[in-house]
Amino acid sequence: MTLPPGPRHAEAAAPTFAVRTSALKKTYKRGRIVAVGGLNLNVPLGGVHGFLGPNGSGKTTTIRMLLGLVRADGGTMEVLGREVPARLPEIIDSVGAIVEAPTFFPNFSGSKNLTILAQGIGVPTRRVAEVLVEVGLGGREKDAFRTYSLGMKQRLAIAATLLKDPQLLIFDEPTNGLDPGGIREIRDVMRNLGDAGKTVLVSSHILSEVQQVADTVTIIGRGRTLAEGPVEAILAQGRQSVRVGIADRDRAGGVLTSAGYRVVATSPETLRVERPDAAPDPAAVARILGHADLWPFELTLEADSLEDVFIALTTSAQPDRPHLPAAPFGGPTTPQGGAA
């Protein structure tokens, strides 16, 4: 979906966030089904922000409310400093979005498809060549759309959202159905857009890809925020351990346990070593073992991935138990309520 142009308005004070929601709520079937329950979302200006949650957690519903496609039942929303949907016409030219598969003419070239769109929304046609280069389709612009791979078709859709040179781009599951090569292409396009100063809000369930491309993330479950902040801060909540490979596993485990470590045997010759209060230091582990005349053949520092943290948060979420988000982008944290 490419949003149509709206009326121009005088510039307001520069916003601090690209997107903010407070206590956002959406229910269906007269309140019996809660899709979004009291969601607080803070998307900083610039860079790539991952919007993560299990299926049915309210991601797509939230995006549709931000774009004025679905009416919220409660709470507030701001996009680029304007309250939406009331002031959506003021910033519509500054927002590009893909929330469903766009429709292109299969027998027309990528360039021809975008030229028709540009003329329809009042954008100079010179932008077509520019945006095709931005998404890496500069050498395939004359090929028919029907000959494009799925990844190329999705990049053409992103090019369509760039015609108005928007500040904010919102992509709902942009890598669905793509092979690894196509996923990487979309990831590179999003990263380049973020590096160029645009704000990219992307919902996704492919956590390994989000970890590679996102600067900040929001993790939601049951329609509410579970964690939010820079990717590094979210990962810091996960488990860190040292993988120890050693021949005398049992004696090594006893020595490390006596030294205050938490030790789990993971194979006949490997241990997972953790500290209850901090990340373990491989050098300290090696010294303790060396003093006991135990010599490891492997010492590897391991940390939970974003997917590990995501699973831990979303599987532990209970509808009646508030969660405290990770330190967000300034300001105090508050427990989130609600269920979906």
Q: What is the pLDDT of residue 13?
A: 60
Distance CA 58, CA 77 (A): 15
Residue 184: which pLDDT band, with cuts at 50, 70 and 90? Answer: very high
Distance CA 35, CA 28 (A): 7
Mean pLDDT of the chain: 87
Domain 17-235+309-316, CATH 3.40.50.300 — does that match? yes
Residue 5: which pLDDT band, with cuts at 50, 70 and 90? Answer: very low
Place of tokens 């899709």: 35
Q: What is the pTM of this model?
A: 0.79
Residue 15: which pLDDT band, with cuts at 50, 70 and 90? Answer: confident
CATH tag for 239-303 (out of 3.30.519, 2.60.120, 3.30.1380, 3.30.70): 3.30.70
Domain spans in the chain, listed from the N-terminal domain onward: 17-235+309-316, 239-303
Does position 331 have pLDDT exceeding 50, yes or no? no
Does position 10 have pLDDT exceeding 50, yes or no? no
Average pLDDT on 152-178 reads 94
* Residue 6 DSSP one-character state: -
Place of tokens 């590179």: 188
Same fold? 17-235+309-316, 239-303: no
Q: What is the pLDDT of residue 327?
A: 35
> Token digits for 182?
């196509």
* Residue 147 DSSP one-character state: G
Query: CA dihedral defined by 23, 29, 32, 38, rounded to 10 degrees?
Result: -10
Average pLDDT on 42-52 reads 96
Does position 133 have pLDDT exceeding 90, yes or no? yes
Average pLDDT on 230-236 reads 88
258 contact partners, CB below 8 Å, separation of at least 6: none
pLDDT in tens, 102-118: 889 999 999 999 999 99
Average pLDDT on 47-71 reads 93
